[in-house]
């Protein structure tokens, strides 16, 4: 119920997913509104049910207020269905911060996972998608958090995106091990010693090149990077459209450039990849853009289904467990007298 | 001598600058090579001289080696000319890290400036340029460093870009004061209390919108952001060119789209703005891309000239001095028993 066009696009996307992927759907929210939306579609025989939730967390809502006051929000009710084993995962286009906070409270993290990570699936010049994590679940990370992000991202890339032996890079400001801030310099040798296919530091300009499949960074840097990428694309589109229409003669030009733009947009379209999975939590949680289309919702449901089917969380727990034999950096040691 | 096409583009850019801006030029480096380049141009009557330097710091060179071993590198000799009052500023397309390190050693910082900041002048959707600082001079910054960056950036924006009462924003991951990492949350109230026109946090997607003139962040985040912006532009160009040539019929299409691209590229072209000024150091230092064109060198010389003419450094010292009455954050207090 929390998306910008809820529950219209959510219901449409869910109906399409139920048809295409043979996945059971529970729509959680204001039952009358959802029932009304469902009437617009042919849902005969589809495994779709409704669970009532009386409240909605808005986009502007403060996370702590949402946590404290809205006990019957649609996201919270949905997360409880996952906790209680009635659903494998939850997909939402609601307030990202609130979704993450409710998830942590209701579902909690997987065994040995210190912090969940929000994953952005991003387009690259080479055509195949890369992932960037964390893009906003955690700021001020410690080296071991980034190490766990690498493990979780590697497993997601392998099991969901089907990339064999994904290359893992650390987002920094120079290729050499000695380049970076305190955090990246500490995590670099840990990544080298870890079982992932670590290819070293990568710079901002390499993020969209497609040479690296899993790009690890702290949530502050990842969030700035992701939104900056969106911003540049927006600027680029605005400026170039102006220039194209100046140079291409009127209507033919507009038509031709629209085709090219549409085809281009499909490639860099975030809705193609669904939403942002929150890795490291119990159950499957996919958080979509507030302005998601039905197609994005449908794709997010597909990704959620795949995460569940391939037992991604069990793999993550195993992967993180294997890390415990690696040395923690000195800065994280706890002194016990 | 340190640029990718040195000294060819440097000499050409300098000759053009000497003609256009009535600025005196000292070319520093291998005298025979420079003299040979100068012969290609009509320099009759132009105020251009040569100072010999026997060494060159390469792009791959480790900064500490460059500092220790190459005492007669062209950048170092040039910086000494500034230190000794024989030049007002130095422009280089050499190794950025080495240029910054040599500058700190030979020239030092301005009075009360804790850390210099490297400034990127960036294009925006609105047409007028914004600046982002720091883009790589300092990682792991403290709040007072960011506060000083804001002051220095505001003065640069006003005096060099001619922006009246520039809007200063803090790069973070949400608009509210409570959003961000430890660093941004600590510096936010300091910026509010400072004399700059602080408009609050801005997100990655706002960087290129042109609503904010001076964007402040630590050098790690700024460097990732700047290079990521370049990377997205590269990906965008690659993908869109492919699509355009698919949709626009052969030659006419290619011609039309080339015109549009050229006109677009001129707008987002970093060479239009010259290079990256290193603010907060004694003298004027402008560091250009290694792959700078002669035009970029020429523009960098223009910016250096303006920085000197408008007495930017004196203004920065005054601006930073005025800050000393602001409270330092608790985290930076030094306990004295």
**Predicted pLDDT at A254:** 57
Give CA–CA dist B276/B120, Å, rounded. 5
> Least CB-CB distance to B224: which of A173, A240, A243?
A173
A83 touches A107 (CB < 8 A) = yes
Minimum Cα–Cα distance from A226: chain B residue: B204
The strand pair at B130-133 and B214-216 is best described as parallel
Give the number of other CB atoms < 10 A from CB of residue B334.
Answer: 5
**Predicted pLDDT at B271:** 59
**Predicted pLDDT at A337:** 45
Minimum Cα–Cα distance from B248: chain A residue: A256
Scanning the structure block, which residue is given the tokens 């499957």?
A: A284
CA dist A104 → A115, A167, A231, A265, B295 (Å): 9, 29, 29, 34, 54
Q: Which of A60, A126, A145, A205 to mutate to test the interface with B (most CBs of B within 10 A)?
A: A205
Phi-psi region of B108 (alpha: psi -120 to 50; beta: other; left: phi over 0): left
Tokens of A159: 């099991």
**Predicted pLDDT at A328:** 63
Task: For residue B270, list chain A residues with Cβ-Cβ distance below 8 A.
Answer: none
**Predicted pLDDT at A242:** 72
CATH placement of domain A122-269 = 3.40.718.10
Task: For residue B204, list chain A residues with Cβ-Cβ distance below 8 A.
Answer: 223-231
Q: Which of B124, B183, B231, B233 to mutate to test the interface with A (most CBs of A within 10 A)?
A: B231
**Predicted pLDDT at A274:** 78
% helix, strand, coil for chain A, step of 5: 50, 15, 35
Contacts of B175-183 with C-beta under 8 Å, sequence gap 24+, read B175/B200, B175/B201, B175/B202, B175/B203, B176/B201, B177/B201, B180/A139, B180/A220, B181/A139, B181/A140, B181/A218, B181/A220, B182/A139, B182/A140, B183/B141, B183/B142, B183/B143, B183/B146, B183/B218
- Per residue of chain B (337 residues), give pLDDT as tens: 999 999 999 999 999 999 999 899 999 999 999 999 999 999 999 999 999 999 999 998 888 888 899 999 999 999 999 999 999 999 999 999 999 999 999 999 999 999 999 999 988 888 888 999 999 999 999 999 999 999 999 999 999 999 999 999 999 999 999 999 999 999 999 999 999 999 999 999 999 899 999 999 999 999 999 999 888 877 777 777 776 666 655 455 556 666 666 666 666 566 566 799 999 999 999 999 898 999 999 999 999 999 999 999 999 999 999 987 665 666 665 555 4
Give CA–CA dist A81/B7, Å, rounded. 68
A48 three-state secondary structure: strand
Between the two ends of chain B, the Cα-to-Cα distance in Å is: 51
Task: For residue B253, list chain A residues with Cβ-Cβ distance below 8 A.
Answer: 256
Helix (H) or strand (E) holding A317: helix A312-322
> Least CB-CB distance to B260: which of A232, A234, A244?
A244
| Residue of A91, A220, A111 lying closest to B172 (CA atoms) | A220
Give CA–CA dist A331/A333, Å, rounded. 6
Distance (Å) from the alpha carbon of B184 to chain A's nearest alpha carbon:
10
ipTM score assigned to the predicted complex: 0.89
Beta carbons of A239 and B180 less than 8 Å apart: no
CATH placement of domain B1-113+280-324 = 3.40.718.10
Distance (Å) from the alpha carbon of A258 to chain B's nearest alpha carbon:
10
**C-alpha angle B123/B128/B134, rounded to 5°?**
55
Q: Please list the rounded mean pLDDT of every run of 10 residues in chain A (337 residues).
A: 94 97 96 97 96 95 89 97 98 95 96 96 87 95 97 97 96 93 97 97 94 97 93 78 64 60 62 84 95 93 96 97 73 57
| Whole-prediction pTM | 0.91
CA dist A101 → A3, A68, A75, A281 (Å): 17, 11, 11, 11
Q: Which of A239, A253, A259 to mutate to test the interface with B (most CBs of B within 10 A)?
A: A239
**Predicted pLDDT at B337:** 45
Which residues belong to CATH 3.40.718.10 in chain A?
A: 1-113+280-324, 122-269
């Amino acid at each position: 119920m929390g998306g910008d066009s809820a529950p219209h696009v959510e219901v449409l996307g869910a109906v399409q997913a139920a048809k295409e992927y043979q996945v059971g759907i529970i729509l959680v929210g204001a039952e009358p509104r959802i029932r009304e939306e469902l009437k617009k579609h042919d849902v005969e025989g589809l495994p779709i049910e409704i669970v009532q939730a009386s409240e909605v967390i808005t986009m502007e809502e403060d996370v702590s207020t949402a946590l404290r006051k809205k006990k019957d929000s649609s996201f919270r009710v949905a997360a409880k269905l996952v906790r209680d084993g009635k659903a494998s995962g939850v997909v939402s286009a609601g307030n990202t911060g609130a979704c993450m906070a409710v998830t942590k409270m209701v579902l909690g993290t997987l065994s040995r996972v210190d912090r969940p990570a929000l994953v952005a699936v991003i387009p690259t010049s080479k055509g195949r998608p890369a992932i960037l994590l964390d893009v906003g679940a955690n700021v001020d990370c410690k080296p071991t958090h980034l190490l766990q992000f690498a493990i979780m991202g590697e497993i997601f890339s392998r099991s969901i995106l089907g990339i064999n032996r994904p290359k893992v890079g650390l987002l920094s400001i120079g290729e050499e091990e000695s380049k970076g801030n305190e955090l990246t310099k500490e995590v670099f040798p840990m990544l080298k010693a870890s079982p992932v296919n670590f290819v070293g530091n990568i710079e901002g300009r390499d993020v969209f090149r497609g040479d690296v499949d899993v790009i690890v960074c702290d949530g502050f840097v990842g969030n700035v990077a992701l939104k900056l990428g969106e911003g540049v694309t927006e600027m680029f589109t605005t400026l170039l459209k102006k220039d194209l229409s100046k140079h291409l003669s009127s209507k033919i030009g507009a038509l031709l450039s629209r085709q090219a733009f549409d085809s281009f947009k499909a490639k860099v379209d975030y809705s193609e990849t669904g939403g942002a999975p929150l890795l490291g939590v119990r159950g499957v949680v996919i958080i979509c853009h507030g302005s998601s289309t039905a197609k994005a919702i449908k794709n997010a449901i597909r990704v959620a289904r795949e995460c569940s089917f391939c037992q991604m969380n069990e793999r993550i727990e195993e992967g993180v467990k294997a890390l415990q034999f690696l040395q923690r950096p000195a800065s994280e040691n706890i002194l016990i007298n």
